[in-house]
Amino acid sequence: MEAVGQNICKIRDVYRLIMDFERDFQQKYGLCLNEGMLLCSLQNSKLSSKEIAQVLGLMLSNTSKIIKSLEVKMLIKRTLGKNDKRQMYFTLTAKGIEKLAEINCEEQKISPVLDNIKTQVSTQVSRHKYQDTSNKCLDS
């Protein structure tokens, strides 16, 4: 039971790192993390709202809110589909490209937080694999 408690504590620590990263990201760039991820997703392509939802791993209703927020900030724009005029696609505006460049230029300054998360997750995965192996040996 102690291992479960330790796992939950580690997950909490990772969650706190992500929350801290998102708070700093929002203060620095004026975007929430989902908005930043949407800009990155549109970096080299145009996507429909359904495709955006899939890429971000969000429900369509949440995706619509993020899209609307970025449209209001004039960082993305809608375009009609060429074959199906009912289909909407989203692309970066010039302002969106500038914002994305600003975020990418700061990549080195945010990597320590991401490295901490990666290290913690890798450690947990390794421990979990070791525990599984240990348990199998004990059951034999």
Please indicate, yes or no, if residue 136 is contained in any of the structural domains. Answer: no
pLDDT tens-digit map of 75-108? 999 998 888 778 899 999 999 999 999 988 556 4
The pair of three-digit structure tokens given for residue 36, joined into one six-digit string: 């930043």
Q: Does pTM surpass 0.75?
A: no
Please indicate, yes or no, if residue 37 is contained in any of the structural domains. Answer: yes
**Which residue range(s) make up the domain with 21?**
2-128
Please indicate, yes or no, if residue 139 is contained in any of the structural domains. Answer: no
Please indicate, yes or no, if residue 9 is contained in any of the structural domains. Answer: yes
The pair of three-digit structure tokens given for residue 82, joined into one six-digit string: 């060429």
Please indicate, yes or no, if residue 107 is contained in any of the structural domains. Answer: yes
Please indicate, yes or no, if residue 133 is contained in any of the structural domains. Answer: no
Please indicate, yes or no, if residue 36 is contained in any of the structural domains. Answer: yes
Please indicate, yes or no, if residue 135 is contained in any of the structural domains. Answer: no
pLDDT tens-digit map of 30-76? 999 999 999 999 998 899 999 999 999 999 999 999 999 999 999 99
Total count of domains within the chain: 1
Helix (H) / strand (E) element for 79: namely: strand 76-80
Domain at 93, CATH number: 1.10.10.10
Using alpha carbons, select from 72, 40, 41, 45 the residue that is nearest to residue 54: 41
